[in-house]
Structure 1
Amino acid sequence: MSSELPEYYFRVRENGAFVFRVDTSNRQRRIEMDQIASLNIRNGEIKPHGQRELSDEDIRVIREWMEARREILAERDIDDIHRAVDHLNLTAHWAQTRATDEQLEHVTDDLLLAMHDLRTVLVRKKADRLTKRP
């Protein structure tokens, strides 16, 4: 752990974060975290906590964190999709080599419907992209 703490702490929640100012300048050298805002990643909203007014520096740091967080979440989305492709390949191998008739009976309809739905969306999106090209 580094000896110097950051000035701000972001407690991640589903749609954003709570923002705290970190303070260790008290006499006991205890870490105090004072909530200064909450934020919503999806719509970019920043709400000051209570009657607090955020400084320009607070807003700048929060906006920088939001942009970095959006990039992390976008990277995770793509990674999840690549993992899904891997799982589809592993599922095909499992179905071909190890699955029992009972196991296949249990999952086949759900898999076929999910794959049909995915294929329909992908084909439609691909067609949309192709028709938009100059």
Structure 2
Amino acid sequence: MGAELPDYYFRIRENGAAVFRVDTENRQRRIEMDQVAVVNVRNGEVKPHGDRTLTDEDIDAIQNWLNDRVALLARRDIDDIHRAVDHLNLTTQWVQSKASDEDLESVTDPLLLAMHDLRTVLVRKKADRLLRDSDTSD
């Protein structure tokens, strides 16, 4: 490997990551990864691995990764929503121009229910925001 390796490696898991300290300063010049902690992205909890005590450097690296990861996941969430809008538009075009009667029979009810559910939640949230905004401007 030509590039300098980072001091920490984060193995992504469902709700966070396993944190490893990367070591290349050994006699065999092998890459060794020593697990130091587990991080939960949802609640920010950091659990040292085994009976370890995390150093200030460990905690700083983990906190920086956690902040970056939370920001990345938030950007992905909004990007997914923008993609959903695109998919709804593409679905509309497909329904109008390509869908067979059999295709429409298989997707109409699930789509209508999902769109009704989404519309209901969006309208309620919009009303809540409007009420909150009008309360703060009074």
Relative to the length of structure 1, the TM-score reads 0.98
CA distance in 1, matches of 2:27, 2:71: 39
Residue of structure 2 in register with 1:96 after alignment: 96
2:115 pairs with 1:115? yes
**Could you say what secondary structure the match of 2:17 adopts?**
strand
Deviations 1:77-124 (Å, cap 9, x if unpaired)? 000000000000000000000000110001000000000000000000
The 5 Å alignment of 1:38-77 reads 38-77=38-77
CA distance in 2, matches of 1:3, 1:81: 36
2:11 pairs with 1:11? yes
CA distance in 2, matches of 1:44, 1:100: 49
- CA drift of 1:57 comes to 1.2
4+ long deviations beyond 6 Å: none
- CA drift of 1:56 comes to 1.0
CA distance in 2, matches of 1:103, 1:12: 38
Q: In the superposition, relative to structure 1, how do residues 2 and 85 fare at CA in structure 2: closer, same or farther (>3 Å)?
A: farther
The gaps in structure 2 that reach 5 residues or longer are: none
- CA drift of 1:3 comes to 2.4
- CA drift of 1:2 comes to 4.2
The gaps in structure 1 that reach 5 residues or longer are: none
CA distance in 2, matches of 1:58, 1:32: 16
CA distance in 2, matches of 1:58, 1:70: 18
Q: What fraction of aligned residue pairs are identical, expressed as a percent? A: 72
Over the aligned positions, Cα root-mean-square deviation in angstroms equals 0.8
CA distance in 2, matches of 1:92, 1:15: 35
CA distance in 2, matches of 1:3, 1:92: 48
Aligned length: 134
Relative to the length of structure 2, the TM-score reads 0.95
CA distance in 1, matches of 2:126, 2:100: 36
